[in-house]
């Protein structure tokens, strides 16, 4: 699949739920409302849409949320998508998670062919972690990470850069990752969710956030890439692979290869745009043939780039949907 700007689209992110057992400040308001269950795609519909996307050239799928592992009977969907990995039709099935349920799900993920996951972790201080997540338990997450490693699932830690919040946590997390053999990704905050406030005060360019790491190690650019937008460096002194996702300080839209399927069946062509195509309605009212037609419409609507910079500067222009509603 090629979009209107000549970019090859081979990566689909599927949000399987907007619900989460954490309430991270940068992701959703404290009193978040959630979609009724009847508005969500069921597992059969998700699997069918995934199959059609794979037929049109999608080679990598990432499951997101919310927290994907809180959805009931998640192992059913993992098994269905895992068949495409085992058959070779899908190069990669991955997951972004807060890690709290990995102790239970690690063997299930491994059986489905999941070989690497991203785990959100913004502090190794139990109290600060609880404050950021509004009640999350750090020990649960660390136990989950250890369980995933035992099942040979490679882990990348996602750390959101927040000025005045977790700057002092970078080096402890970097050392933990280096010692355990995990990768580390630093992510700038994004202005999604008009009710999620405070981003003007906590936004910090990733290049500034990692300055403490530069004080102890040279950072060498490396050509390593995954399906996502991270640009990678090697922290030589630690032997740590570190990626940076910089939607505001350094735009990376020129080689965007992604589409996003929301839990209510809409395809968003860009995380920073409201333009979408309603696949759920088409599937339920017209059948699978309509899905194939809408795929081409979605590609034509994909914008050249996001406008996060303008949205950060002007809160009134921000998108109303929160990160948990779209998937990261």
Q: Would the CA dihedral through 309, 8, 27, 139 be positive or negative?
A: negative
Is 323 labelled as part of a ligand binding site? no
CA distance 170 to 159: 8
What is the DSSP annotation of 170-212?
Answer: HHHHHHHHHHHT-EEEEEE---B-TT---HHHH---HHHHTHH
Kindly report the pTM of this predicted structure: 0.89
Predicted pLDDT of residue 228:
66
How is residue 312 written in tokens?
A: 């950060």
Predicted pLDDT of residue 303:
66
Is 300 labelled as part of a ligand binding site? no
Predicted pLDDT of residue 199:
58
Is 83 labelled as part of a ligand binding site? no
What are the strands of the beta sheet with 183-188, ordered from one edge?
Answer: 219-221, 231-235, 240-245, 183-188, 154-161, 116-120, 92-97, 60-64, 11-15, 258-261, 266-268, 276-278
Predicted pLDDT of residue 125:
98
Predicted pLDDT of residue 311:
46
Decide: 46 and 15 in contact? Cβ < 8 Å.
Answer: no
Is 253 labelled as part of a ligand binding site? yes
Predicted pLDDT of residue 257:
81
Is 66 labelled as part of a ligand binding site? yes
The helix/strand/coil state of 137 is coil
Is 77 labelled as part of a ligand binding site? no
Is 26 labelled as part of a ligand binding site? yes
Decide: 101 and 131 in contact? Cβ < 8 Å.
Answer: no
Q: What is the DSSP letter of 22?
A: -
- The segments of the chain whose pLDDT lies below 70 read 191-200, 227-228, 247-254, 271-273, 303-328
Is 270 labelled as part of a ligand binding site? yes
Which residues, listed in sequence order, are joined to residue 186 by a DSSP beta bridge?
A: 159, 244
Which residues, listed in sequence order, are joined to residue 146 by a DSSP beta bridge?
A: none
Is 302 labelled as part of a ligand binding site? no
Is 120 labelled as part of a ligand binding site? yes
What is the DSSP annotation of 201-249?
Answer: HH---HHHHTHHHHTTS-EEE-----SSS-EEEEETTTTEEEEEE-TTT
The helix/strand/coil state of 14 is strand
> 80-83, long-range: CB within 8 Å, 24+ apart, which pairs?
80/43, 80/47, 80/50, 81/47, 81/50, 81/112, 82/111, 82/112, 82/113, 82/114
Is 177 labelled as part of a ligand binding site? no
Model confidence pLDDT, tens digit, residues 272-285? 667 788 999 999 99
CA distance 40 to 42: 6
Q: Are strands 258-261 and 266-268 parallel, antiparallel or unpaired?
A: antiparallel
Is 62 labelled as part of a ligand binding site? yes
Q: Which residues contact 234 (CB under 8 A, 6 or more apart)?
A: 219, 220, 222, 240, 241, 242
Is 321 labelled as part of a ligand binding site? no
3.20.20.70, 3.90.1300.10, 3.30.565.10, 3.30.2140.20: CATH of 11-326: 3.20.20.70
CA distance 116 to 18: 22
């Amino acid at each position: 699949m090629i979009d209107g700007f000549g970019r090859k689209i081979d990566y689909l992110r599927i949000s399987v739920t907007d619900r989460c057992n954490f309430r991270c400040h940068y992701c959703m308001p404290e009193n978040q409302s959630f979609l009724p269950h009847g508005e969500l795609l069921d597992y059969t519909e998700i699997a069918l849409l995934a199959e059609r996307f794979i037929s049109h050239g999608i080679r990598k799928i990432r499951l997101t949320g919310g927290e994907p592992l809180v959805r009931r009977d998640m192992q059913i969907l993992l098994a269905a998508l895992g068949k495409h990995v085992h058959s070779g039709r899908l190069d990669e099935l991955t997951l972004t998670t807060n890690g709290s349920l990995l102790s239970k799900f690690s063997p299930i993920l491994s059986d489905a062919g999941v070989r690497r996951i991203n785990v959100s972790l913004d502090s190794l201080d139990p109290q600060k972690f609880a404050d950021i997540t509004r009640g999350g338990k750090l020990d649960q997450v660390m136990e989950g990470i250890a369980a995933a490693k035992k099942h040979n699932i490679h882990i990348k830690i996602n750390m959101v850069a927040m000025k005045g919040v977790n700057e002092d946590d970078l080096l402890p997390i970097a050392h933990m990752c280096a010692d355990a053999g995990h990768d580390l990704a630093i992510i700038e905050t994004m202005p999604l969710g008009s009710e999620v406030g405070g981003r003007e005060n906590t936004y910090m360019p990733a290049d500034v956030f990692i300055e403490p790491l530069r004080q102890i190690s040279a950072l060498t650019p490396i050509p390593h890439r995954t399906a996502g937008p991270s640009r990678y460096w090697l922290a030589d002194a630690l032997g740590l692979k570190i990626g940076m996702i910089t939607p505001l300080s350094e735009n990376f839209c020129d080689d965007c290869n992604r589409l996003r399927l929301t839990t209510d069946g809409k395809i968003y062509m860009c995380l920073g745009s409201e333009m979408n195509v309603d696949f759920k309605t088409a599937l339920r009212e017209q059948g699978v043939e309509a899905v194939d037609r809408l795929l081409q419409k979605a590609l034509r609507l994909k914008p050249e780039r996001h406008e996060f910079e303008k949205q950060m500067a002007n809160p009134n222009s921000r998108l109303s949907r929160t990160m948990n509603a779209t998937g990261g």
